[in-house]
Amino acid sequence: MKQIFNLTIALAFSIHFGIAQTNSTTIVEDFKPSPVNQPGKEFPQVNSEGRVRTQISAPNAKYVQLDIGGVKYDLVKDENGVWTGESAPQDVGFHYYQLNIDGASVPDPGSLFFFGANRYGSGIEVPSNDQDIFALKDVPHGHVHEILFPSKSTNTARRAYVYTPPGYDKESSKRYPVLYLQHGYGENETSWPNQGRANLIMDNLIAEGKAKPFIIVMTYGMTNEIKFGGLRDFDIKPFQTVLIDELIPYIDANYRTLANQENRAMAGLSMGAFETRLITLNNPNVFSHYALFSGGIYRPDELKEHKNLKLVFLTCGSKERPDGIKNAAAELQKAGVNVASYISEGTAHEFHTWRRSLHQLAQILFK
C-alpha cells in the first residue's frame, strides 16, 4: 500500500466517528465510577465490557440520552425522576461524551470536563490493561507550568503548559532537551496535560529509567481561529510564527533548555501531526526528532535536505490505517532515515492511541 496521507485524509481523521452498536440483552453488572468523575460522584460508571452507564435526576424531562461515540443511547426514568442507562461497549481509554436532555446537549455534571470537539465537555475513562503507564504513582513528580508568553504576531499573551521533569526546580544548572507537543483539531493546550496525562506518563517512565528527562511544551495550535470545517483553508504560517519566532525563544530564555536543534523535537496528534509535518518540513534546521501521531507520514524525498534529522516516529491506532504507517516507515527506512513506527492495538482516533504513542516516543527520544 503506497497510499500517501494527504490533507484530505488528515481531515477525515480529525472527525471523531463512532460505530453504531446495538445493546446486547445481558449486561455485566460490575460497574465502577469512572476515575475522571467529579469528586464524590457515583456516576458515570464503566463496566468490564467497557459499557458506560450514567444517571441524572430530571423529573420533568421527556427523554434523556447518553451521547457517546456518535450514538445516542436512551436512559430510563424511575419513580423518583432519576434517569439511568448505558452505552454499548466502548474502546479502552478516554472518550468525550455529552448528555441530551429534551434536545439540549449539555455536559454530564457527574464527570470532570475536558476540552475536545471545540468545547469543554464530559469525559469518561474505560479501563485498559496498560492504564498503569499513566497512573498516579508514588514516584517523584514533575511540574506542569501554565505560562503566558508574549506574542507580537497575534498581539496578545498566549497560554502554554510546560512540563518540567522531577527535580528541575531543585537543580540550578542542569539543562534539558525540549519536545514541542501539539493537540488535535477541536482540542487545546489543556488536552495533553489533562486527558493526555503527559506529565504522569513522563514521571513514570523517568522513575523506571526508561526515558531521558526532557521538557515538554504544549500550546494552542489553532492560531488562525479556523472555524468548524475550515481545515481545508488551513494556513500554517500564523501558528508557525507563534511557535518558531515567539514560543521557542521564550522557552529558551526562561527555561534551562539545551537550546539547539539536536535537543529539540516536535510531535503532534491528528491536526497537530499535520502541523508538525508542515513546520518541520518548512524549518529543516530547528528540530531533529519528528513524530506524527494519527495524522500523516513523511515521504523520503521530502526529507532529503534534513541533514540533522535524528528520528522520524509514525503512529496510529489499529482501528485507523495502520498499513499506511507501516508502509511509510518501510519506505523511509529503505531511504536511510532512522525511523520507528507504532500501532496502538484496539484503539481508534482517540486519546488512548496518543497516550501510548507518547509513551513509546519518550523512550526513544534524545537518545
Neighbours of 14 (CB within 10 A): 20
Tell me if 207 contacts a second copy by CB under 8 A: no
Tell me if 330 contacts a second copy by CB under 8 A: no
CB of 273 to a second copy, least distance (A): 22
- On the CB side of 174, CA atoms within 13 Å amount to 13
Tell me if 66 contacts a second copy by CB under 8 A: no
* Letter string b/e over residues 287-312, b meaning 16 or more CB atoms within 10 A of that residue's CB: bbbbbbbbbbbbeeeebeebeebbbb
239-278 positions binding a second copy, by CB under 8 A: 253-255
Return the number of the residue (15 or 139) whose C-beta is nearest a second copy: 139
Tell me if 299 contacts a second copy by CB under 8 A: no
Using CB under 8 A, which of 11, 58, 259, 281 touches a second copy? 58
- Secondary structure class of 100 (helix, strand, coil): strand
Tell me if 52 contacts a second copy by CB under 8 A: no
Tell me if 229 contacts a second copy by CB under 8 A: no
Using CB under 8 A, which of 89, 93, 116, 121 touches a second copy? 121
- Beta strand spans in the chain (E): 32-33, 45-46, 52-57, 64-68, 71-74, 76-77, 82-86, 93-101, 104-106, 113-116, 119-126, 143-151, 156-164, 178-182, 215-219, 264-269, 289-293, 311-317, 339-344
Using CB under 8 A, which of 21, 71, 131, 145 touches a second copy? 145
Burial class (CB in 10 A: 0-12, 13-18, 19+), 58: middle
Tell me if 62 contacts a second copy by CB under 8 A: yes
CB of 243 to a second copy, least distance (A): 18
Using CB under 8 A, which of 22, 25, 60, 129 touches a second copy? 60
- The site for a second copy (CB under 8 A) is made up of 38-40, 56-64, 81, 99, 101-107, 109, 112-113, 118-121, 136, 138, 141, 143-150, 156-157, 162, 169-170, 172-173, 188, 193, 199, 253-255
